[in-house]
């Protein structure tokens, strides 16, 4: 049986899709492009209206190009609007996020109940119960990824007025530290040299466990395992997006002093107008955010610091945009993800007055993206001549540094190899010996 997995959205979805791929491969399935697959799993996002639209377009295109394909849809859009998704062509099953860990066992149960005569994949006991990792079929390059994305937490209870995710992902749930350490050991033993730790609200890690623990405790446990050579000493952890209030000084200090953690932060700002931040129900002011990122830049001068920004939030006036632009232009941020606001049904912001016209939102987004490009160029300029350890990806001609520079190298190496690079320009690096 041939399969394809298509993923939209965040790193949590990427981690979930890696799990699907591993279980399918271990069960004897063969990866194929969507137009040639018997089964296509579409893992959706619903953070914006554009995310929903992209999933719909993709599903329709698959159905048109591969009319015999069975399309199974999961993720946040599938959870938020199951009926809408289920009405799309060739969609045979819609699986909510809560059932996502059992996606393949659900398909197996359905195949058995209808006495399926399909290839033996779905009726094979090799699927097990679908919970946890199958312990096979994993190696660098799975799903085209050299670094492994590991979900250690899911769910969110923050009250941000624009966000639908708490209702599609549910309450926060954390993977116990011992289970994370075991999974990291398995992934490292398979040959992965970089692991991205991710969660829906990663900074809330451990608060739901008993006894209660924290993200800092998890990071410390992983660093201790590397130090004691229980894991490969050259293993690198990359911390995914953290809410500003969760990026405590101790985490910054750990990243600054340990070679086990990439000097890379992603800290969503969302806006630099305190009035808009309050309407968004964000639990900090721009002054708090500025102090945090300024402190990181002082403590770790070469760190990359990315951020998310929403433009066109209801009630946003020109003075709010001016505050945003004024802060961003002189901030130490190194790259931006810019999201034009769109209503999410069921959120507090959807009921707010003062909606900003679409053309105005698009223009504001264009302006902020230009600033983001300027910030990225400024950071790249500052790194020319510096030397970094970098991991080769794709076909070995591209390498990613700890501080998230992607550099072409003159002589292709094998994928998943550590190299030393001197930054020669914005997009090219010079290989060094040793």
The residue ranges of the chain whose pLDDT is under 70 are 114-137, 229-231, 434
What mean pLDDT value characterizes the chain? 92
Q: What pLDDT, on a 0 to 100 scale, did the predictor assign at position 335?
A: 97
What six digits make up the tokens of 120?
């033996």
What six digits make up the tokens of 259?
């070679």
User: What's the rounded Cα separation, in Å, for the pair 307 and 249?
Assistant: 18
- Arch. (CATH architecture) of 2-127: 3-Layer(aba) Sandwich (3.40)
Q: What pLDDT, on a 0 to 100 scale, did the predictor assign at position 118?
A: 55
Nearest to 292 by CA among 246, 256, 239: 246
Domain spans of the chain?
Answer: 2-127, 147-262, 268-381, 387-432
Same fold, 2-127 and 268-381: no
Residue with tokens 């002082």: 298
Identify the bridge partners of residue 401 per DSSP, sorted by sequence position.
390
3-state percent breakdown (helix, strand, coil) of the chain, nearest 5: 40, 20, 40
CATH fold of the domain at 147-262: Transcription Regulator spoIIAA (3.30.750)
User: What's the rounded Cα separation, in Å, for the pair 223 and 233?
Assistant: 10
Identify the bridge partners of residue 266 per DSSP, sorted by sequence position.
306
What CATH number does the domain located at 268-381 have?
3.30.750.200
3-state secondary structure of 337: strand
Consecutive H or E run containing 277: helix 274-280
Q: What pLDDT, on a 0 to 100 scale, did the predictor assign at position 32?
A: 94
Q: Are 333 and 306 in contact (CB under 8 A)?
A: yes
The interaxial angle of helices 249-257 and 215-227, nearest 10 deg, is: 20
What pTM was computed for the model?
0.91
Q: Are 261 and 302 in contact (CB under 8 A)?
A: no
């Amino acid at each position: 049986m041939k399969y394809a997995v298509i993923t939209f959205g965040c790193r949590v979805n990427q981690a979930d899709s890696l799990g699907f791929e591993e279980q399918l491969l271990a069960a004897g399935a063969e990866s194929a492009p969507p137009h040639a697959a018997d089964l296509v799993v579409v893992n959706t996002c619903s953070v914006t209206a554009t995310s929903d639209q992209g999933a719909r377009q993709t599903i329709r295109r698959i159905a048109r190009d591969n009319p015999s394909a069975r399309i199974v849809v999961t993720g946040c859009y599938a959870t938020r609007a199951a009926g809408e998704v289920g009405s799309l062509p060739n969609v045979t099953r819609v699986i909510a996020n809560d059932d996502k860990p059992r996606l393949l066992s659900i398909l197996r149960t359905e195949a058995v109940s209808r006495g399926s005569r399909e290839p033996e994949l779905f009726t094979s006991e090799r699927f097990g119960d679908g919970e946890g990792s199958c312990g096979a079929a994993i190696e660098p390059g799975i799903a085209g990824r050299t670094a492994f994305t590991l979900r250690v937490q899911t769910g969110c209870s923050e009250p941000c007025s624009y966000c639908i995710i708490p209702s599609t992902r549910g309450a926060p749930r954390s993977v116990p530290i011992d289970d994370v350490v075991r999974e990291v050991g398995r992934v490292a033993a398979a040959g992965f040299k970089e692991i991205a730790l991710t969660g829906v609200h990663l900074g809330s890690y451990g608060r739901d466990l008993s006894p209660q623990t924290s993200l800092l405790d998890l990071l410390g446990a992983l660093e201790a395992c590397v130090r004691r050579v229980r894991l490969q000493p050259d293993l690198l952890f990359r911390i995914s997006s953290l809410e500003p209030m969760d990026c405590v000084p101790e985490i910054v200090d750990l990243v600054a002093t340990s070679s086990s953690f990439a000097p890379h932060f992603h800290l969503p700002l969302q806006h630099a107008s305190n009035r808009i931040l309050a309407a968004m129900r964000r639990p900090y002011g721009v002054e708090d955010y500025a102090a945090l990122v300024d402190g990181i830049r002082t403590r770790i001068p070469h760190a990359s610091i990315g951020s998310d920004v929403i433009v066109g939030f209801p009630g946003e006036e020109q003075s709010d945009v001016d505050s945003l632009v004024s802060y961003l232009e002189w901030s130490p941020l190194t790259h931006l993800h810019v999201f034009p606001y769109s209503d999410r049904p069921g959120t507090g912001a959807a009921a707010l007055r003062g909606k900003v016209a679409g053309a105005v939102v698009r223009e504001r987004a264009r302006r902020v993206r230009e600033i983001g490009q300027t910030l990225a160029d400024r950071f790249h300029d500052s790194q020319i001549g510096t030397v970094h350890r970098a991991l080769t990806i794709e076909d070995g001609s591209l390498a990613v540094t700890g501080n998230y520079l992607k550099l072409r190298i003159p002589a292709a190496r094998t994928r998943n190899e550590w190299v030393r690079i001197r930054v020669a320009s914005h997009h090219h690096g010079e290989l060094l010996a040793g």
